[in-house]
């Protein structure tokens, strides 16, 4: 076995190892999304709803506390922070929903592929 063959085998082994590790990460990621995406979506919706209420109430309270030094700044900060948190929670909710739908589509595609392979095998066994 020559030097180039050894080098080629090492490179091939390295590439295979990277592929196996990548597949493992993808499997764990899909499992996490499958198990937790709907919960993340629900929780982020709740957080967004609560933050929106805090922002709305704080915004409505601004005219009443405008003359009180310090309190007006705190209420304005609550109003802005509530709206920002609401927007962030909505993005998390949408992201979790997209991840859940993508994982479901991927699973459906894999199941369809498995069915097609079985059909091909049954056709091959006839001949």
pLDDT digits (tens, 9 = 90+) for 18-43: 888 887 888 888 888 888 888 888 89
Return the closest-CA partner of residue 84 out of 111, 54, 112. 54
Could you tell me the pLDDT band of residue 106, with boundaries at 50, 70 and 90?
confident
Which burial class, exposed, middle or buried, applies to 55 when counting CB atoms under 10 A from its CB (0-12, 13-18, 19+)?
buried
Compute, in degrees rounded to 10, the torsion defined by CA atoms 24, 28, 31, 37. -140
For the entire predicted model, the pTM comes to 0.62
Tokens found for residue 44: 């982020």
Would you say residue 1 has pLDDT above 70? no
| Domain presence at residue 21 | yes
SS3 127: coil
| Domain presence at residue 2 | no
Are the C-beta atoms of residues 126 and 71 closer than 8 Å to each other?
A: no
The mean per-residue pLDDT over the stretch 36-61 comes to: 88
Q: Which domain holds residue 90?
A: 8-126
| Domain presence at residue 1 | no
């Amino acid at each position: 076995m020559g030097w180039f063959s050894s080098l080629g085998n090492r490179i091939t082994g390295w590439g295979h190892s990277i592929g196996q590790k990548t597949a493992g990460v993808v499997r764990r990621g899909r499992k996490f999304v499958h198990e937790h995406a709907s919960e993340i979506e629900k929780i982020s919706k709740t957080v967004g709803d609560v933050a929106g209420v805090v922002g709305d109430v704080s915004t409505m309270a601004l005219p009443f506390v405008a003359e009180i030094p310090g309190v007006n700044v705190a209420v304005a900060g609550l109003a802005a922070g509530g709206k920002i948190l609401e927007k962030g929670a909505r993005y998390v909710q949408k992201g979790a929903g997209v991840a859940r739908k993508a994982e479901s589509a991927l699973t459906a595609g894999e199941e369809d592929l498995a069915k097609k392979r079985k059909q091909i095998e049954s056709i091959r066994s006839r001949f």
